[in-house]
A and B are shown apart, each in its own frame.
Chain A
Amino acid sequence: MGLMISCKDASRLISQMQDGDIPPWQRARIRLHLFLCEACTRFEKQVRVLRAALRQYGS
C-alpha cells in the first residue's frame, strides 16, 4: 500500500486508533486521507460521538 489509502482501509484504521496505538506511518496516512476525504472526516467525528454517547449512557 502506498501513501494513499481507500475509505475502506481508512475507516478501519480510524476505528483501530480509538483502541490503541497505531504506528506513526499509519497515522500519517490517515491524516492525509482525512485531509482529502469529507466522508471519512464525518466518520471519524461520528466514532467520537459514539464514544461520548456510550459514556453518557453508562453514567
Chain B
Amino acid sequence: MTDSDFASRCNSHRGYLLRVAVLQLRDNDVAEDVVQDTLLAALQGASGFSGRSSLKTWLTGILKHKIIDAIRRKGREPAFASFDEEYQLDDLDALFDESGHWDNPPADWGDPESALSRQQFLEVMQMCLDKLPPNTARVFVMREVMDLGSEEICKELSITSTNLWVILYRARMALRQCLEQNWFASAGGAGIASR
C-alpha cells in the first residue's frame, strides 16, 4: 500500500472522527484541531498500524488520547476530576415511586431498527445527546460510540467502576426518556413504533 492510499483510507474516516470529537468536546473548532492532529499522527505512525485491528479502531485509539489531551489542556474544566453531581443517583430515584416501580413505565418502541439511520432520527439523537451533562455525554460516547471497554474508560479517566456504572445508567435513562418524548411519541417515530 502506498502512502497516499493509506492517507485516503484514513481520511475516509474523518466524518466519524469529527462526530465523535464534537460530541466529546462540544466545540467545533477544537474538535477540528483534534481530528487534524489525529490524522497527522496516524500518517506519521503508519508503520504502527499492524492491520490486526480495523483502521477505524486504530484511529479511534489515537483520537481517544488526543481528546483526553485536549480536555486536560482546556484547564478551566478540571478534566474529569469533578463530576460529583453526575455520580449521584438521587435525582434518578425520582423516576420511580416509593415501592421502586416506574413512575412512567417505558413505552413500546416497536422495531425501530429501520429508523436508526434516518436523518431526522439522527437529529433528534443529537439534540438528546446535547442535553446530557457534559461529562456524562463524554463517558457515554466513549462507551457506546467509540466502543471502549469499561476497564479502559475507568483507567483513562481515573474513575471507579461504580462511578462509571452510575454515569452510564444516568445517560441511558436520560436518552431513553428524551427519545421516547421526542421521537417515539411524536409524528417522526409514530409510524415506525406502531409497525
Q: Which of B2-10, B25-33, B37-45, B108-116 contacts A (4 or more CB under 8 A)?
A: B108-116
Report chain A residues within 8 Å CB of B107: 42
B73 sits at the interface (CB 8 A): no
Q: B165, A7: Cβ atoms under 8 Å? A: no
Q: B169, A16: Cβ atoms under 8 Å? A: yes
Size class of the B contact interface (CB-based, 8 Å)? 35 or more
Please give me the residue from chain A that is nearest to B108 by CB atom.
Answer: A42
Q: A45, B109: Cβ atoms under 8 Å? A: yes
Q: B117, A6: Cβ atoms under 8 Å? A: no
Min CB gap A32→B, angstroms? 15
Report chain B residues within 8 Å CB of A11: 102, 169, 173
Q: B105, A55: Cβ atoms under 8 Å? A: no
Q: B101, A15: Cβ atoms under 8 Å? A: no
Report chain B residues within 8 Å CB of A58: 16, 19-20, 145-146
A50 sits at the interface (CB 8 A): yes
Q: A47, B102: Cβ atoms under 8 Å? A: no
B14 sits at the interface (CB 8 A): no
Number of A residues, CB within 8 Å of B: 30
Min CB gap A40→B, angstroms? 8
Q: B113, A42: Cβ atoms under 8 Å? A: no
Q: B168, A42: Cβ atoms under 8 Å? A: no
Q: A53, B125: Cβ atoms under 8 Å? A: yes
Please give me the residue from chain A that is nearest to B145 by CB atom.
Answer: A58
Report chain A residues within 8 Å CB of B172: 15, 18, 47, 50
Q: A20, B161: Cβ atoms under 8 Å? A: yes
| Interface residues in chain B, defined as those with a beta carbon under 8 Å from any beta carbon in chain A | 16, 19-20, 93, 95-96, 99-102, 105-109, 112-113, 116-117, 121-122, 125, 140-141, 143-147, 150-151, 161, 164-165, 168-169, 172-173, 175-176, 179-180
| Interface residues in chain A, defined as those with a beta carbon under 8 Å from any beta carbon in chain B | 6-9, 11-12, 15-16, 18-20, 38-40, 42-43, 45-47, 49-59
16 CB contacts below 8 A, A to B, read: A6-B101, A7-B101, A8-B101, A15-B169, A15-B173, A16-B165, A19-B150, A19-B164, A39-B106, A42-B107, A50-B144, A50-B175, A55-B144, A56-B117, A57-B19, A57-B122
